[in-house]
A and B are shown apart, each in its own frame.
Chain A
Amino acid sequence: MQKSPVNANLALAKLPILGLERIMIYSHVKSTIELQKNCKRRKIMSSTKPLEELKDAILNYDVDGAKKAAEKCLAANIDPAKALNEASNAMKKLGELFDCGEAFLPQVVVAGDAMKAASGILLKKLSTKPTKTGKVVIGTVEGDVHDVGKGIVSVMLDAAGFEVIDIGRDVPTKTFVEKVKELKPNIVGCSALLTVTRLRQRDIIDALKKEGLRDKVKILVGGGATTGVWAEEIGADAWGEDAPDAVRKAKQVLGLPE
């Protein structure tokens, strides 16, 4: 039995019957039954409690409101770490709403700004400074001009606190390697929409190996033509099924809390 590095839940067993290469053991895929419990409708709240006010401001894409709520938290002697955690939960919730078609890209951007504005105020009062979330170099692979999905992932990573360097679309493999050398990111995100271009994701991993850089960076692959099995096959560290999942996986591979 092999364990997939991409998703530990997916245990694969080779069964030489029916000419099928491998048959998944269903009992190892418990997450399949999960319902979208988190995908509740967004309610506009008008709370007077500073922590809830902070969360509501972010979920209502209100930059000024988030700043005021952060100041109120400090005035009420609320632990800044607790307030930052609440703001982070609001961003996570927004990701779920985006996944359900109930929040849209511009709103994610403004909510990210609200989060940053509140964090700026709260971080000044934090006794222990948190480590930076991480640096991500992201691009659509060579031969592929589809960058809508990559753009969404880039925005959502940024909103989640990552430093994102978007190197565009139709990016040659050698440019990915050069950017890893130059910028020393924690993660390289490679997007491919087409089955014909996803092969470049493997090329990028091979090129990074050749340059001795593979172990210095985590590789996150995604895009319409990709799957967990593909990510595993090419030796990527993670696969993002959609934009919110890409953010989750980016945090996972760096060992950060979701």
Chain B
Amino acid sequence: MECLTRMGDGTPVKMTKEQIKAEIEAGTKDAAHRAHVPELNSNEIEYLMEIVSDPSRIVSVVPGKEAVVTHDVGPLKVMADQSNSGVSIPCSREQAMCIYERAFASDTTELGHIDYSFKPVKPIITQEQSVLQNVNLITTIPVFYGAMPNLGLYYAPDGPFVEPIALIKEGKMSEAKVNMEKAAHQFVEDLEYITTRLYAVGLDGLNIDTTAAAGDADFWGTLMAVEKLKKSCPYLSIEMGMAGEFIFGFHTELEYDGTRLAGLFPHQQVKLAEKAGVDIFGPVVNTKPSKAFAWNVSRAVTMVKQCVKDSKIPIHVNMGMGVGGIPMYETPPIDAVTRANKAMVEIAGVDGL
């Protein structure tokens, strides 16, 4: 009997249960090989096969396994247009955040700037303070402020430092490293500037999203910033969401607490996040569009399961377009989204999504 499932790009595909199982086995092997983590055991593989091959349009967790649901990208998914995976509802950020609280029954909401990077927030911090203050007056839900470290904005032509990949290409490795370190230090300074001001008007939490998108220096700067923020904003909850499954090595020599950052996988990343003072960790496992959904979800669950096991802090896995086993498609198909989420909660054991 054939089941209707998906490829990693969202294309529907019919597969037999045996084919699905073979994909799941291959996916978990790939994760184990790359991240040096154990494969899923036979019971987990069987259960994942049941989830993937379930004939229902959507699936859900069994009662008692409900998980916390938070959102990134602030209110932009409500306000932004469809090309940005939003629904383009004309409303203010305050209204969009109320929709998260009252219509979506979300467990947290997030304020964010349209650019969704921290650097551009610095010159408009008073506006962000003002919106946050308004949101705090009309909501009871925990409010995060979210954006990306996006170290790329610190390099020319957007920032004062020389673009390191250009330097690497020219063989100027030392100069590239110096520029990456300078950018990371500037980010630490900017994030502290922004966060302390938002904290002063009642910020509950900070979501540092897509950490390490610009490689190991991006991760390094974020860890240093968290360390500082835990001192200057002691009651602030800090969530660190990652950009990819392993840390790209552009600098390659940066270390945190004696551990080299380049090449770390989720279960290794979370240990450093914990040491820095992060309260919630959001691992990412990338979806391969050319592979089957079963392969992708199995691979993602395998890596995240080890991350959950090794972590002392809550794990809120990133589940969205192109991550966590979910297909790489603007509006990810709901059948795949619900199956991936169920698998993450029931097999990987995540605390939140």
Spell out A's residues near B (CB within 8 Å).
7, 12, 18, 20, 22-26, 29, 31-36, 39, 100-102, 104-107, 109-110, 113, 145-148, 151-152, 154-155, 158, 166, 194-196, 199, 224-225, 227-230, 241
Taking a contact as CB atoms under 8 Å apart, the answer to whether A20 and B12 are in contact is: yes
Taking a contact as CB atoms under 8 Å apart, the answer to whether B213 and A148 are in contact is: yes
Q: B215 in the interface, Cβ–Cβ < 8 Å?
A: yes
Which residues from chain B contact A148 at a C-beta distance below 8 Å? 152, 165, 213-215, 248
Which residues from chain B contact A36 at a C-beta distance below 8 Å? 30, 33-34
Most buried by A among B4, B83, B265: B83
Taking a contact as CB atoms under 8 Å apart, the answer to whether A195 and B263 are in contact is: no
Q: B231 in the interface, Cβ–Cβ < 8 Å?
A: no
Q: Which 10 A-B pairs have the closest CB atoms?
A: A104-B249, A151-B165, A196-B83, A227-B9, A101-B246, A24-B13, A227-B289, A101-B263, A23-B12, A26-B15
Q: B29 in the interface, Cβ–Cβ < 8 Å?
A: yes
Which residues from chain B contact A22 at a C-beta distance below 8 Å? 11-12
Which residues from chain A contact B215 at a C-beta distance below 8 Å? 105, 148
Please tell me which one of the listed residues B14, B252, B265, B322 contacts residue A23 in the complex, with CB atoms under 8 A apart: B14
Shortest distance in angstroms between A225's beta carbon and chain B's nearest beta carbon?
A: 8
Q: B187 in the interface, Cβ–Cβ < 8 Å?
A: no
Taking a contact as CB atoms under 8 Å apart, the answer to whether B292 and A29 are in contact is: yes
Taking a contact as CB atoms under 8 Å apart, the answer to whether B23 and A32 are in contact is: yes
Which residues from chain B contact A166 at a C-beta distance below 8 Å? 169
Give Cα A242–Cα B199 distance, bound, in whole angstroms.
39
Shortest distance in angstroms between A212's beta carbon and chain B's nearest beta carbon?
A: 30
Interface pairs (6), CB distance under 8 Å: A20-B12, A22-B12, A23-B12, A106-B168, A148-B213, A224-B328
B30 to A, closest residue via Cβ: A36
Most buried by A among B13, B85, B295, B329: B13
Shortest distance in angstroms between A184's beta carbon and chain B's nearest beta carbon?
A: 22
Please tell me which one of the listed residues B22, B214, B252 contacts residue A106 in the complex, with CB atoms under 8 A apart: B252
Give Cα A151–Cα B214 distance, bound, in whole angstroms.
11
Q: B19 in the interface, Cβ–Cβ < 8 Å?
A: yes
B15 to A, closest residue via Cβ: A26
- Number of B residues whose C-beta is below 8 Å from A? 55
Taking a contact as CB atoms under 8 Å apart, the answer to whether A106 and B213 are in contact is: no
Shortest distance in angstroms between A11's beta carbon and chain B's nearest beta carbon?
A: 11
Give Cα A18–Cα B329 distance, bound, in whole angstroms.
19
Taking a contact as CB atoms under 8 Å apart, the answer to whether B23 and A104 are in contact is: no
Q: B230 in the interface, Cβ–Cβ < 8 Å?
A: no
Q: B353 in the interface, Cβ–Cβ < 8 Å?
A: no
1/0 per position for B328-343, CB-CB distance to A under 8 A?
A: 1110000000000000
A224 to B, closest residue via Cβ: B322
Give Cα A230–Cα B290 distance, bound, in whole angstroms.
12
Taking a contact as CB atoms under 8 Å apart, the answer to whether B173 and A106 are in contact is: yes
Taking a contact as CB atoms under 8 Å apart, the answer to whether B288 and A241 are in contact is: yes
Shortest distance in angstroms between A234's beta carbon and chain B's nearest beta carbon?
A: 14
Taking a contact as CB atoms under 8 Å apart, the answer to whether A105 and B249 are in contact is: yes
Please tell me which one of the listed residues B85, B245, B250, B288 contacts residue A104 in the complex, with CB atoms under 8 A apart: B250
Please tell me which one of the listed residues A18, A155, A230 contacts residue B169 in the complex, with CB atoms under 8 A apart: A155
Taking a contact as CB atoms under 8 Å apart, the answer to whether B171 and A113 are in contact is: yes
Give Cα A227–Cα B85 distance, bound, in whole angstroms.
16
Most buried by B among A12, A20, A24, A154: A24
B333 to A, closest residue via Cβ: A20
Q: B158 in the interface, Cβ–Cβ < 8 Å?
A: yes
Shortest distance in angstroms between B255's beta carbon and chain A's nearest beta carbon?
A: 14
Q: B113 in the interface, Cβ–Cβ < 8 Å?
A: no
Which residues from chain A contact B252 at a C-beta distance below 8 Å? 104-107
Most buried by B among A23, A31, A166: A23
Which residues from chain A contact B13 at a C-beta distance below 8 Å? 23-26, 29
Give Cα A24–Cα B15 distance, bound, in whole angstroms.
9
Please tell me which one of the listed residues A107, A146, A196 contacts residue B152 in the complex, with CB atoms under 8 A apart: A146
Give Cα A232–Cα B285 distance, bound, in whole angstroms.
26
Please tell me which one of the listed residues B23, B34, B262 contacts residue A100 in the complex, with CB atoms under 8 A apart: B34
Given contacts A195-B83, A241-B290, contact A32 B248 (CB under 8 A): no
Given contacts A23-B12, A151-B165, 8 further A-B contacts (CB under 8 A): A24-B11, A25-B14, A104-B262, A106-B173, A145-B158, A148-B215, A224-B328, A241-B289
Give Cα A84–Cα B207 distance, bound, in whole angstroms.
50
Which residues from chain A contact B22 at a C-beta distance below 8 Å? 33
Which residues from chain B contact A106 at a C-beta distance below 8 Å? 168, 173, 176, 249-250, 252
Q: B291 in the interface, Cβ–Cβ < 8 Å?
A: yes
Which residues from chain B contact A199 at a C-beta distance below 8 Å? 83
Q: B60 in the interface, Cβ–Cβ < 8 Å?
A: no
Which residues from chain B contact A195 at a C-beta distance below 8 Å? 83-85, 330
Given contacts A104-B263, A195-B330, A228-B289, contact A24 B7 (CB under 8 A): yes
Give Cα A226–Cα B289 distance, bound, in whole angstroms.
9
Given contacts A26-B14, A107-B252, A227-B328, contact A194 B289 (CB under 8 A): no
